[in-house]
Chain A
Amino acid sequence: MNMQPARQNQIIKLAILAVGGQGGGVVSDWIVHLAEENGWYAQATSVPGVAQRTGATIYYIEMVPDRGRTPILALMPSPGDVDIVIAAELMEAGRAMMRGLVTPERTTLIASSHRAFAVSEKMVPGNGIADGAAVIETARKTARRFVAADLEAIAQRNGSVISASLFGALAAASVLPFPRASFEATIQSGGKGIKASLRAFHDAFDAASAPVAAAAPPERASVEIKGPPALLGRYQTLEARIDDEMPADSRDMAKRGLAKVVEFQDMAYGEEYLGRLVKIAALDHDLGGDGKGRALTREAAKYLANAMAYDDVIRVARIKTERQRFERVRDEVHVRDEQILKLTEFMHPRMEEVCGMLPTRLGRYIESRPGLFKALDRMVNRGRHVRTDGIFWYTVLYALSGLRRFRRRLLRHEVEQMHLARWLGEAERVARRNYGLGVEVLRCRRLIKGYSDTHARGLSRYDKVLSALPLLEGREDGAQWLRRLREAALKDENGTALDGALKTVASL
């Protein structure tokens, strides 16, 4: 093993940054044990306190060769004076750098590249995930050496916890003057799950010995289509139409869109989708979109599919009863063959959803009579915990998913079609005058998502954002403004950011 010469008179200073509950204390104890077994004097401290409840925590260790006298060691890490930083999560590595604990002259930074998202990242109605690549890039520049691997995944794969894989990565980094066997002996010296810990240790050792791979975007998952040959044949004809009639750079998106709408309804619905798309592609061409990256076509391929495959009861019932879904759940929950899985769904239908599933006229009839609607709602509107592994509820959901045949005649479909037509019409109209703005109108479809109240809120946000259109159509930077409005709408639930942005637009 490649080992650095032991720095006899120097103190090795090591900081561990973790998220409370990750077990940073275990790594700290192991390192102290390791040092002491190798004839070193080690001092470890921490400030657990409330931070151990899911907050950012820090452990600090100093060690020197034991010469029988008590060395005077510090109780906290100082910026620019740390040899090894272990970060048990990617953003904690970022935090270590922000605290100045990582310096190019001396610090080896060992980080797990996985993410444990902070509440502030998760709660955003849109996408609030922080930019991990920025942390990795900075770490490369800031650390003397940067060792990173998904140590959480390694631990999980081996049925262990991250402390074991962090310890493995530390051993692999060869920054402590102790042999690998001594690390292993430390793990073996006590505690639970020794075998699993050792497996995680070994895998982490290997992973951390490899150079840090650039964060490559994951391969786009392909979709495999199975079914009766007749249907498959018709489907392939539709796909061939995409190849014939759509510009090359929109074909992939169009094919995914096609899959989504056909899965949602049927082949005819797929034809409808293609028909609309081809028209938009032609318009795009007329508007000079070829010089503008044909954004109108590509975005239409994406959002038209999403708009056509809206989230209704029939779709949910279908997904919940699909064979693949059962297999995916078994996989996610790690159900072994000898175990049995029970599945409970949390459904809370309201009268609105029931009306949506009725034939248009009947649905409208009930909706226009508040008294009747309320009375029926009282019967329907109740949380239902539904066992989909049981015969009764499975059959109920299966039957509901069978309503697909009648979907085009149901109220929800009509409502969705009307909305879709308005949206698409608006986008085309605006695009004729202001190409970029038209593309942004298409993208605003992203605002409509969720079920019940969430869906209603999404719709109102969509309306609010598009209400600015008259002010923006004449502006060259109209597209940028609409994009900003949409982003603001996805920032918080109350729409505070959106209201602010709308005020700005009004003052333009």
Chain B
Amino acid sequence: MAERSFAKEVQQLKIGAGEEFRGEGILAITKALLQCGVGYVVGYQGAPISHLMDVLADAQDILGDLGVHFEASASEAAAAAALAASVHYPIRGAATWKSTVGTNVASDALANLSSGGVTGGALIIVGEDYGEGSSIMQERSHSFAMKSQIWLLDPKPNLEAIVKAVEDGFALSEATNTPVMLEVRIRSCHVHGRFIAKDNQRPPMSVADALESPRRDTQRIVLPPASFLHEQEKIKKRWPAAIDFIKTHKLNEMVGPKRGKVGIVLQGGMYNGVIRALQRLGLADLYGTSMVPLYILNVTYPLVDDEFLEFCEDKDAVLVVEEGQPDHLEQAFGHMLHKAGASTRLHGKGYLPMAGEYSGQVMLDGLSGFLRDHAPALLSAKIRLPNAPVAPPDVSHLAQVVPMRPPGFCTGCPERPIFSAMKLVEQELGVHHVAADIGCHLFSIMPPFNIGATTMGYGLGPASASAFNMPAKKRSIAIMGDGGFWHNGLASGIGNAVFNKNDGVILVVDNYYSAATGGQDILSSRANNRTRSTKHPITDAVKGVGVNWVRHIDRTYDVQKMRDTLREALTTDEKGPKVIVASSECMLNKQRREKPLTAKAIHDGKRVVKPRFGVDEDVCTGDHACIRLSGCPSLSVKQLDDPLRDDPVASIDQSCVGCGNCGEVADAAVLCPSFYRADVINNPNRLDRFLAKLRQKVIGFLQKRRDVKSLRFIKAGTA
């Protein structure tokens, strides 16, 4: 049911030693896991690691043959907890999610896991959603690694390095009885590259083997007195073991000239950005040969004191390239230099900004500033003392012209009519406090709807309205998606509202699967899934935890019903939470699935009715009230070439999928009679043709009757 089929990519998972793998970074990780003999993979979908989950879901057969268990977990916390299988058993396990949001959710299990430690390699692959295009708060996963003492790998952003990091990660984890976090940024997840593959490995011990011969060791369970021992063990045993492993296996790299007055210390993930800046400064070649000494941290936690101090030994100044804040690395390095009494000047944040993504320009400015001050001799005269810089062309006036283009609901999205209805209710009953959640429905906060006041986390919409629980003239409205509902919202939102006798309204948006992350199945999915149990209605779950007022709208496009139900929920005398479940399938996925089927049916001569909407431009007056209640990409405007008209009229383009929202809204909001639905019957049957002929006869007669009596004004372009 996923948004994309990965049938082609799955084939690449099978390739053997010596063959070349080409594709996305995140798929390379998937292949690397199998090469490492992983015993189980768990995770929760979300950009940028959704593809990892989707490929494995499509690769069930291969996984089955290898004896690997794959599970789409209920949440990141569930995924992290599943790593418990590596606590007592020498089984390699991997968990993956979007970070830092997923790591936030997982941190309880992660803290317990890293306290007791692991026997089998435990790898946590976090897709770092930081910088441009990110949909979440800007934070670092690094802090989580530090607080729980999980080793953190930050490989260079190319497929070879990422694949090697997976291998190193498992080995490091096993050598130190510590879980390892592998951090991949959004661009390296999506980077297209290549590496030479190895054969897939069967796990030496499978989870089935473990089930059949269970083991336990009280020492690994987090309970006093073991928990106190764990803390000691972390420092006295696991830490030195990690330092030793990193040094012996040379996980960090020192490249460039052996000696030099200056050097750059960088996170592995920053490597390409640093090299590009050096290339532009004339200090590195195409293949990364650098004229400045570089200390590349493929492991950013723990840091190896001797390696760093050795790198600094002959240097006057060192620049730390560390993206994000707080500046954990720089602080640690400063501490090391200070304790060692070294005279090397440490720089980092200052030449580079404390906050924000290290884009190409930021990196160039930071590095050239540092080198100009500390190693001007390295720079060519042109860069050191540039002529008056050529002013970039002034395009500032475009800021007044080019409109913002934030993401929004797709054409035909079933969530649009829900918010159209909310807008209509708002017109009747006034503005309400609306608690939003994570998911596509959060686009409601943007124009044209402008609905939603806060978003506190996945599935936490209703919980974030829980304080609004006092007698008042208005009720709160909380929204969450089906994904958030099953993630934790059933307990934290619905259960919480029942228990605390909250009178508010909770709207669950059900689009048949986890749509925002790419269409992965969840409990309430309506699809048949060979390997999962689906079709568990949300309404049953809601009633099961004690909600009395439950309404199910099985076609969100029914704007009137949606509006009336919302109005009832906001005004009824019934006590306790009012839960509305609004269901219709995600149109993006539905179209992807059905479009080819429809085309084939038409091609095969079957009778197929295809709906589309349109606007009568002579009826439309160009007020755009319909657009303010919709925002659909296919409902646009066009300027008529009629000098009598000032404002552009509404117009529906070819991308319309005929969802019906336009007509429903025009009707429910009593807007105007401009909209029409055109149902085109492909391969009409005999009855269709007979009726059409008859109708055409009558209508044609009436039209002719009128035409002979009055003038007709035919605009060019129309027939």
Residues of A within 8 A of B (CB): 9, 11, 19-21, 32, 42-58, 64, 69-81, 91-92, 94-95, 97-98, 100, 102-105, 116-127, 129-131, 134-135, 138, 141-142, 156, 192, 218-228, 231-232, 235, 252-253, 256-257, 259-260, 262-263, 302, 305-306, 311, 316, 319-329, 331-333, 335, 338-348, 350, 383, 385, 388-391, 394-395, 398, 446, 449-454, 458, 490, 493
Residue in B616, B648, B678, B706 whose Cβ sees the most chain A Cβ within 10 Å: B678
User: CB of B447 within 8 A of chain A?
Assistant: yes
Residues of A within 8 A of B713 (CB): 223-225, 259, 262-263
Q: How far is the CA of A53 from the CA of B516 in the complex (A)?
A: 9
Q: How far is the CA of A197 from the CA of B21 in the complex (A)?
A: 28
Given A135-B401, A138-B395: A123 touches B675 (CB 8 Å cut-off): no
Please give the number of chain B residues whose Cβ is less than 8 angstroms from any Cβ of chain A in the complex. Answer: 130
Residues of B within 8 A of A49 (CB): 47-48, 129, 133-135, 186
Q: Kindly report which residue of chain B lies nearest to residue A193, judged by CB atoms.
A: B599
Residues of B within 8 A of A218 (CB): 641
**Among candidates A64, A320, A339, residue contacting B682 with C-beta atoms closer than 8 Å:** A339
9 other A-B residue contacts (CB within 8 Å) besides A70-B158, A72-B158, A72-B288: A58-B133, A69-B287, A78-B359, A221-B715, A227-B711, A324-B719, A391-B694, A391-B698, A449-B623
Given A91-B402, A123-B627, A231-B710: A45 touches B187 (CB 8 Å cut-off): yes
Residues of A within 8 A of B596 (CB): 192
CB distance from B593 to the nearest CB of A (A): 14
Q: Is A221 touching B641 in the complex (CB atoms < 8 A)?
A: yes
Q: Is A123 touching B624 in the complex (CB atoms < 8 A)?
A: yes
CB within 8 Å of A: which B639-668 residues: 639, 641-644, 646-648, 654, 662-664, 666-668
Q: Is A345 touching B678 in the complex (CB atoms < 8 A)?
A: no
Q: Which of B172-180, B470-478, B630-638 contacts A (4 or more CB under 8 A)?
A: B630-638
Q: Is B192 touching A44 in the complex (CB atoms < 8 A)?
A: yes
Residues of B within 8 A of A (CB): 47-48, 129, 131-135, 157-158, 160, 186-188, 190-193, 271-273, 275-276, 279-280, 284, 286-288, 359-361, 364, 390, 392-393, 395, 397-399, 401-411, 440, 443, 446-448, 516, 560, 596, 609, 612, 614, 616, 618-619, 621-625, 627-628, 631, 633, 635-637, 639, 641-644, 646-648, 654, 662-664, 666-673, 675-684, 688-689, 692, 694-695, 698-699, 702-703, 706-719
Q: Is B679 touching A50 in the complex (CB atoms < 8 A)?
A: no
Q: Is A341 touching B286 in the complex (CB atoms < 8 A)?
A: no
Q: Is B192 touching A450 in the complex (CB atoms < 8 A)?
A: no
Q: Is A81 touching B280 in the complex (CB atoms < 8 A)?
A: yes
**Among candidates B280, B403, B664, B670, residue contacting A91 with C-beta atoms closer than 8 Å:** B403
Residues of A within 8 A of B711 (CB): 225-228, 231-232, 235, 262-263
Residues of A within 8 A of B132 (CB): 47, 58, 76
Q: Is A333 touching B680 in the complex (CB atoms < 8 A)?
A: yes
Residues of B within 8 A of A105 (CB): 390
Q: How far is the CA of A125 from the CA of B680 in the complex (A)?
A: 32
Residues of A within 8 A of B708 (CB): 228
Residues of A within 8 A of B633 (CB): 21, 54, 116
**Among candidates B286, B361, B408, B627, residue contacting A55 with C-beta atoms closer than 8 Å:** B408
Residues of B within 8 A of A32 (CB): 192
Q: Is A43 touching B192 in the complex (CB atoms < 8 A)?
A: yes
**Among candidates B398, B411, B667, residue contacting A97 with C-beta atoms closer than 8 Å:** B398
Q: How far is the CA of A225 from the CA of B712 in the complex (A)?
A: 6
Q: Is A341 touching B407 in the complex (CB atoms < 8 A)?
A: no
Q: Is B190 touching A45 in the complex (CB atoms < 8 A)?
A: yes
Q: How far is the CA of A480 from the CA of B680 in the complex (A)?
A: 50
Q: Is A454 touching B671 in the complex (CB atoms < 8 A)?
A: yes
Residues of B within 8 A of A79 (CB): 360-361, 392
Q: Kindly report which residue of chain B lies nearest to residue A335, judged by CB atoms.
A: B680
Q: Is B673 touching A50 in the complex (CB atoms < 8 A)?
A: no
Q: Would you mind naming 12 contact pairs between A and B with Cβ atoms under 8 Å apart?
A: A21-B633, A49-B135, A51-B407, A53-B407, A72-B158, A122-B637, A124-B624, A235-B711, A333-B612, A341-B679, A394-B699, A446-B646
Q: Is A122 touching B647 in the complex (CB atoms < 8 A)?
A: no
The binding surface of chain A is classed by DSSP as mixed
Q: Kindly report which residue of chain A lies nearest to residue B405, judged by CB atoms.
A: A56
CB distance from B45 to the nearest CB of A (A): 13
Q: How far is the CA of A219 from the CA of B642 in the complex (A)?
A: 10
Q: Is B639 touching A450 in the complex (CB atoms < 8 A)?
A: no
Q: Is A121 touching B698 in the complex (CB atoms < 8 A)?
A: no
**Among candidates B158, B401, B647, B667, residue contacting A130 with C-beta atoms closer than 8 Å:** B401
Q: Is A348 touching B447 in the complex (CB atoms < 8 A)?
A: no
Given A333-B614, A454-B671: A98 touches B186 (CB 8 Å cut-off): no
**Among candidates B397, B695, B718, residue contacting A389 with C-beta atoms closer than 8 Å:** B695
Given A72-B288, A346-B676: A98 touches B398 (CB 8 Å cut-off): yes
Q: Is A103 touching B393 in the complex (CB atoms < 8 A)?
A: yes
Q: Kindly report which residue of chain A lies nearest to residue B710, judged by CB atoms.
A: A227
Q: How far is the CA of A173 from the CA of B677 in the complex (A)?
A: 42
Q: Is B272 touching A324 in the complex (CB atoms < 8 A)?
A: no
Q: Is B647 touching A446 in the complex (CB atoms < 8 A)?
A: yes
Residues of A within 8 A of B716 (CB): 221-224
Q: Is A122 touching B627 in the complex (CB atoms < 8 A)?
A: yes
Q: Is A117 touching B636 in the complex (CB atoms < 8 A)?
A: yes
CB distance from A141 to the nearest CB of B (A): 6
Given A45-B187, A320-B673, A346-B675: A395 touches B135 (CB 8 Å cut-off): no
Q: How far is the CA of A332 from the CA of B402 in the complex (A)?
A: 29
Q: How far is the CA of A248 from the CA of B670 in the complex (A)?
A: 43
Given A123-B624, A257-B644, A306-B644: A118 touches B404 (CB 8 Å cut-off): yes
For the complex of A and B, 7 pairs with smallest distance between CB atoms = A78-B360, A47-B133, A55-B407, A383-B667, A449-B621, A227-B711, A118-B403
Q: Is A344 touching B676 in the complex (CB atoms < 8 A)?
A: yes
CB distance from A93 to the nearest CB of B (A): 9
CB distance from A118 to the nearest CB of B (A): 4
Q: Is A120 touching B623 in the complex (CB atoms < 8 A)?
A: no
Q: Kindly report which residue of chain A lies nearest to residue B186, judged by CB atoms.
A: A47
**Among candidates B405, B616, B681, residue contacting A118 with C-beta atoms closer than 8 Å:** B405
Residues of B within 8 A of A121 (CB): 403, 637
Q: How far is the CA of A64 from the CA of B668 in the complex (A)?
A: 58
CB distance from A49 to the nearest CB of B (A): 4
Q: Is B403 touching A130 in the complex (CB atoms < 8 A)?
A: yes
Given A49-B47, A342-B678, A391-B698: A78 touches B401 (CB 8 Å cut-off): no
Residues of A within 8 A of B715 (CB): 221-224
Q: How far is the CA of A305 from the CA of B713 in the complex (A)?
A: 15
CB distance from B288 to the nearest CB of A (A): 4
CB distance from A248 to the nearest CB of B (A): 16
CB distance from A76 to the nearest CB of B (A): 6
Q: How far is the CA of A85 from the CA of B227 in the complex (A)?
A: 57
CB distance from B509 to the nearest CB of A (A): 14
Residues of B within 8 A of A52 (CB): 407
Residues of A within 8 A of B712 (CB): 225-227, 324
Given A47-B186, A235-B711: A343 touches B361 (CB 8 Å cut-off): no
Residues of A within 8 A of B707 (CB): 226-227, 323
Given A21-B633, A333-B614: A253 touches B643 (CB 8 Å cut-off): yes
CB distance from B191 to the nearest CB of A (A): 5
Q: How far is the CA of A332 from the CA of B613 in the complex (A)?
A: 10
Q: Is B395 touching A493 in the complex (CB atoms < 8 A)?
A: no
Q: How far is the CA of A390 from the CA of B691 in the complex (A)?
A: 9
Q: Is A135 touching B190 in the complex (CB atoms < 8 A)?
A: no
Residues of B within 8 A of A95 (CB): 402, 405
Q: Kindly report which residue of chain A lies nearest to residue B276, judged by CB atoms.
A: A74
Q: How far is the CA of A72 from the CA of B714 in the complex (A)?
A: 63
Q: How far is the CA of A58 from the CA of B190 in the complex (A)?
A: 12
Q: How far is the CA of A50 from the CA of B279 in the complex (A)?
A: 32
Q: Is A323 touching B272 in the complex (CB atoms < 8 A)?
A: no
Q: How far is the CA of A79 from the CA of B47 in the complex (A)?
A: 26
CB distance from A362 to the nearest CB of B (A): 23
Residues of A within 8 A of B635 (CB): 122
Q: How far is the CA of A49 from the CA of B187 in the complex (A)?
A: 11
**Among candidates A72, A131, A320, A452, residue contacting B276 with C-beta atoms closer than 8 Å:** A72
